[in-house]
Each structure stands twice: as structure tokens, then as C-alpha cells.
Amino acid sequence: MASRRAGEQFILDGRVSVNGNVVRLLGTKINPLHDSVSVDGKIIRAKKKIYLALNKPVRCVCSHKDELNRPTIYELLPKEWQMVSSVGRLDFNSEGLIFLTNDGQFALHLTHPRYGVRKKYVATVEGKVEPEMLAKFTHGIFDGGEKLRAEKAFLISASKSQSVVELELSEGKNREVRRLFESQNITVKKLQRTQIGKIKLGELKLGKWRTLTETEIKTLLSET
């Protein structure tokens, strides 16, 4: 109906009624199960909260609209769920687990650094990665005025031609995984996010989505 600030002005202007009575006091509490709230005489109903997990493919963006007319993740969702927003982002050439919701508090909890919800990525890179490089990642690297750091870094496999590395991050700065490898002159060939908090990508197929369960939502909100 309105932003918080605009909603407060609606109240001060006398446009809001609770059970037929005009309310002008900011912070007035209601019970949405029993009380009727109206704005300009129109009854307002709470939106149903939606929580989705999507296995994002490469070569699509996490924006509702793209200035280059590239495919978006919203084209993978039913039309009636276009009002959701992605919780964080995965870049154009990355794939894997991403959440979408219309619950702002849920999104804030998963993206704000103070909560430190961890995310796991598997990166396939060119060349052989040595343990010393992973130690640098967990110690921290400065790039573009920011400190980039992985909480954990694990070498899954390594050969002369390519290596596969699992990284666990708590902040998720813009392109953080790619920038960590770029700082060591290593090219990332494939990047997949496999886990957010305790929720794993699992068997969710590329380009497909599912709703999060009540238990999964509570688990994510309890993580700090």
C-alpha cells in the first residue's frame, strides 16, 4: 500500500481506520487476525509471504528488467509471483542456489553482514591451486579498497589444467569469489553456489524452483 514513511503520513492525515475508527496515533498496534484496517475506506489485506529457492542458470540476470534485454530469473517463475525479489544476487555467468521473497525482513537477515549467514560456492578454475593460495583467501586479501575473505577454503581436486575449490563466505561482497581468484591471476571457468545457511541446493534442477518449508524458513532466520 505504501512505504513505512508514506504509511505514517497516511495515519497523520487521518486516512487510516481500524475497525471503522480513524486512527492518528503512530505505532498503534493491531491484531491482523481480528482487526479490520482501511485506507481511504478501502479494506487492506496482508500479502501472503512467499519464499522460493531457485537454481539459477548461467547467462541470466537477477533484475526484474535488464537494459541489455538479457534473460532474467523472473522469466522462470509463474506470472503470479513476479512481485518477489531476489535475496542478494548471483552474477550473469554464475549459477546455483538463490532465494526469492516478498518478505523484507527475511531478505535483510540473509544479506546483512551483521547476521553473517554463510554461503558455500564451488569454483572450477584454470590451473593448479596450491594450499598456500587457499590460506591467503582465509587470511584475507585487499582488493579495490575492500577486504575479501573466505571463512573456509577447501581444495576438492587439482591438476595442471584445472582445480575445483569450495569456498564458504559470510559477507558475499560483489563478485567476491571471482575477485579472490582474480587477485591471484586465476580465471574462474564455472562458479556455482551450493548452499545458503543450512539449506543446500540438493537435487533442485537447473532453472527450476521450489517453495521453502516452514522449517527451512525458521532455520534460516535463527542463523546468526
Distance in angstroms (rounded) separating the CA atoms of residues 53 and 213: 10
Distance in angstroms (rounded) separating the CA atoms of residues 79 and 196: 26
Catalytic residue among 35, 40, 66, 91: 91
Where would I find the beta strands (DSSP E) of 162-204? Answer: 162-169, 188-196, 199-200
91 is catalytic: yes
DSSP classification of residue 118: -
**Residue 82, all three cell numbers:** 513476479
* CA contacts within 13 A on the Cβ side of 18: 15
Residues 6+ apart with CB under 8 A from 66: 72
**Residue 41, all three cell numbers:** 475506506
Could you please report the per-residue DSSP string of 77-106? S-GGGTT-EESS---TT-EEEEEEES-HHH
Q: What angle do CA 31, 32, 34 make, to 5 degrees?
A: 70
Residues 6+ apart with CB under 8 A from 147: 140, 141
Can you name the residues that pair with 200 across neighbouring β-strands?
Answer: 195
Distance in angstroms (rounded) separating the CA atoms of residues 42 and 17: 9
Catalytic residues: 91
